[in-house]
């Protein structure tokens, strides 16, 4: 056999996770998003099935972000202070098929909204839009333990993806997600051993592994991306080799990490050789996403619509010739 025809066949595959519930599944979503299911390394279609293309989730917040750069803010002109209008714009103008809602307003330092207020917001959002939702907390463990269960109940039957569960704060979140029929994001700090252990702990609470999505945590291009890539690659190789506790799809918060980078934020006046900031952040986000796709990312959470447009085109190009 010619070297170019050599193929690797794997005994395992990535679990398939379904986000959203349409009428046939007892929910009200207009579509469902299926992710995972791969039986090969990324985009090697000749080696195994690759049933679902990677999906992009538009990130929205329940409150206006205070520190997003001007170029990112321009894309949200007119809807920045209205999360329902923000969500609507992502769907109608940018054709989002999945939204990722960050409940930042619940954080004690950013509004300290109550669990009841956030649950009511999720109820309104579910009535306003019909696409599936990823819902993440504010990052304060004590507050998330109050808010996430209330939002799980508010979204019961809609099969949302909730996060993030971490090693020191997973029990309350996992119990709430399990009780109301949702899936969970398991976050680990770029550590393959912690990622596996957390999946085991969550599954030991009775949540099927098919309802666990891994957030390996990432860095943007130039800020630890290569290390995150290697961890994701090792995890995916373990899954394909038959390790069921490493076989969860990946979610990567690309926009969150990219727009922290100084290359995406600083003015061209300060660094004229870097080129205009109106283009730089978009390129940084798109390139970070492109690299993570090659590492096995199944869900990309992104911010700038122009970056999303570029990455969608890249995904379509990568998926050519796939016959699931």
3-state DSSP of 126-143: HHHCCCCEEEECCCCHHH
Q: What are phi and psi of 176, to 5 degrees?
A: -65, -45
3-state secondary structure at position 60: strand
Contact 185, 162 (CB under 8 A): yes
Name the β-bridge partners of 19: 33
Contact 225, 288 (CB under 8 A): yes
Tell whether the model's pLDDT for residue 77 goes beyond 50. Answer: yes
96-131 residues labelled b (16+ CB within 10 A) or e (exposed)? bbbbbbbbbbbbeebbebebebbbebbeebbeebeb
3-state secondary structure at position 166: strand
Q: How far is CA 223 from the centre of its chain?
A: 19
> Within a 13 Å sphere around the CA of 55, how many CA atoms are in the beta-carbon half?
26
- Give 1's pLDDT tier (boundaries 50, 70, 90): very low
Spatial separation of the C-alpha atoms in residues 21 and 171, rounded to whole Å: 24
pLDDT tens figures, 207-247: 999 999 999 999 999 999 999 999 999 999 999 999 999 99
- Cis upstream peptide for 164 (omega within 30°): yes
Work out the percent of the chain whose per-residue pLDDT is above 70.
98
Helix, strand, coil: what percent of the chain each, to 5?
A: 45, 15, 40
Contact 180, 156 (CB under 8 A): yes
- Locate tokens 């899954």: which residue? 239
Tell whether the model's pLDDT for residue 166 goes beyond 50. Answer: yes
- pLDDT value at residue 210: 97
What is the CATH T-level fold of the domain 18-318, as seen in this structure? TIM Barrel (3.20.20)
- pLDDT value at residue 218: 96
- Give 2's pLDDT tier (boundaries 50, 70, 90): very low
Contact 115, 147 (CB under 8 A): yes
Tell whether the model's pLDDT for residue 76 goes beyond 70. Answer: yes
Spatial separation of the C-alpha atoms in residues 190 and 114, rounded to whole Å: 31
- Give 323's pLDDT tier (boundaries 50, 70, 90): low
- pLDDT value at residue 45: 93
In whole numbers, what is the pLDDT of the chain averaged over residues? 94
State pTM to two decimals: 0.96
- Give 5's pLDDT tier (boundaries 50, 70, 90): low
3-state secondary structure at position 204: helix
Tell whether the model's pLDDT for residue 324 goes beyond 60. Answer: no
- pLDDT value at residue 119: 98
């Amino acid at each position: 056999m010619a070297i170019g025809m050599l193929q690797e066949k794997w005994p395992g595959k990535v679990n398939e996770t379904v986000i959203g519930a349409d009428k046939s599944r007892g929910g009200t979503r207009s579509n469902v998003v299926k992710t995972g299911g791969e039986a090969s390394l990324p985009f090697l279609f000749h080696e195994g099935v690759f049933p679902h293309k990677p999906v992009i989730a538009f990130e929205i917040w329940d409150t206006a972000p205070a520190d997003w750069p001007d170029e990112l803010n321009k894309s949200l002109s007119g809807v920045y202070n209205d999360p329902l209008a923000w969500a609507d714009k992502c769907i109608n103008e940018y054709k989002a098929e999945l939204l990722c809602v960050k409940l930042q307003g619940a954080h004690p330092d950013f509004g300290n909204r109550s669990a009841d207020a956030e649950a009511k917001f999720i109820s309104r959002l579910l009535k306003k839009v019909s696409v599936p939702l990823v819902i993440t907390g504010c990052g304060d463990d004590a507050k998330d333990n109050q808010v996430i269960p209330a939002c799980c109940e508010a979204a019961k039957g809609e099969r949302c993806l909730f996060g993030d569960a971490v090693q020191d704060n997973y029990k309350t979140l996992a119990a709430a997600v399990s009780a109301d029929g949702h899936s969970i994001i398991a976050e680990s700090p770029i550590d393959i051993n912690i990622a596996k252990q957390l999946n085991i702990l969550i599954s030991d609470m009775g949540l099927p592994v098919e309802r666990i999505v891994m957030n390996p945590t990432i860095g943007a291009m130039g800020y630890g991306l290569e290390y995150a890539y290697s961890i994701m690659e090792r995890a995916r190789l373990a899954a394909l080799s038959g390790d069921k506790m490493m076989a969860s799809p990946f979610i990567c918060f690309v926009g969150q990490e990219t727009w922290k980078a100084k290359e995406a934020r600083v003015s061209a006046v300060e660094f004229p050789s870097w080129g205009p900031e109106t283009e730089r952040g978009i390129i940084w986000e798109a390139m970070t996403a492109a690299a993570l796709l090659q590492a096995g990312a199944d869900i990309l959470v992104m911010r700038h619509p122009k970056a999303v447009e570029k990455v969608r085109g890249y995904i379509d190009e990568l998926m050519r010739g796939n016959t699931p």
